[in-house]
Amino acid sequence: MMRSRNGREVLIAPSILSADFLALGDEVREASAAGADLLHLDMMDGHFVPNLTFGPPVVERLRKITSVPLEAHLMVERPEIYLTDLANGGMHRVTVHWEASSHLHYVLSRIRELGMRAGVALSPATPVAMVSDILDMIDLVLVMTVNPGFGGQSFIGHSFEKIAAMRALLDSRGAAHVSLEVDGGIKPANIAQVVDCGADTIVMGSAIFGDTPCEAVFREIRERLEKT
C-alpha cells in the first residue's frame, strides 16, 4: 500500500510478536488486508535474548495464508543454521544481529546466495558505524529502538538521533539501495518523527495487534504521516 511523507515512501511491517498466537492465522489475514507491506517475524532462541518464539515451521504455514512478503528478524545465536530452512519456507528477507554474528560477512553472503535479501540489526548500544564496511552486502539496516526480546516496550528517546545518524551515513556513502528500518516502541503518535529522522520501513507490534482494530490503526498511521 502506497504511503509517503515528504517524498519518501514508507513501508509498514507489522510484528506478529504481539498477535494472539491462538488466532495467528486470523491476525495475519487481518493485518495483510489492512495494508501491511511486509510481515515482521521475530525469531528468538532464548540465548541471544531472554525469550523464545517460533521457528521455520511457523513460517511455512504463514507463507500459505498471505501474499505479503515475510521478513525474519533473527534474535538468535548462530543465525546461519536456520537460513536454508527459512529460504525453503519462502522468506523474502532475513535480518541478523550485528552482536550475534561472529562471521557476519559470511552470514550475509549466505543469505543472498539463498536468494533472500540480507539485513543487519543493531541493538541500542551498537554504533551506526558498524555497518560501514558491509554496505554493499546488505539490503537493509534495522535500527532497534528498544532492547531486543519483547514487544510493548517504550521507544528509547535518544534513538531519534541514531536514526538520523544512520540516514546520514547511508546518504554520505551513496547507499540508496539500503533500506532503513526501525523497530521498537513505534506508535501512530511517534511514527512521523521516526520517518522525519530518515526511516523508510517501520515495524509495529503492540500498536497493530493491540485493542484497536488493525484497519483503524492503519488509518491513523496514514493520517499521522500526512500531517505536517
Binding segment toward Zn ion, per CB under 5 A, in 46-54, 82-90, 126-134, 183-191: 183-191
Contact in structure between 188 and 207 (CB atoms under 8 Å): yes
Q: Which is nearer to ligand DX5, 107 or 186 (CB)?
A: 186
Nearer to ligand DX5, 73 or 110 (CB): 73
What DSSP state is assigned to residue 154? P
Cell readout for 158 is 535518544
**Residue among 109, 204, 98 nearest 141 (CA):** 98
Query: CB of residue 113 vs ligand DX5: minimum separation in angstroms?
Result: 25
What distance lies between CA 142 and its chain's CA centroid? 6
Closest by Cα among 54, 170, 174, 187 to 122? 170
- Residue 211 appears among annotated catalytic residues: no
Going residue by residue from 72 to 111, which x/- string records binding to Zn ion, judged by CB under 5 A? -x--------------------------------------
Which of 17/128 has CB closer to ligand DX5?
17
Which residues are CB-contacts of 69 (< 8 A; sequence separation ≥ 6)?
Answer: 37, 38, 39, 92, 93
Contact residues for Zn ion, defined by CB under 5 A: 42, 73, 183
Contact residues for ligand DX5, defined by CB under 6 A: 15, 17-18, 40, 42, 73, 146, 148-153, 183-186, 203-207
Which residue numbers are catalytic?
Answer: 42, 183
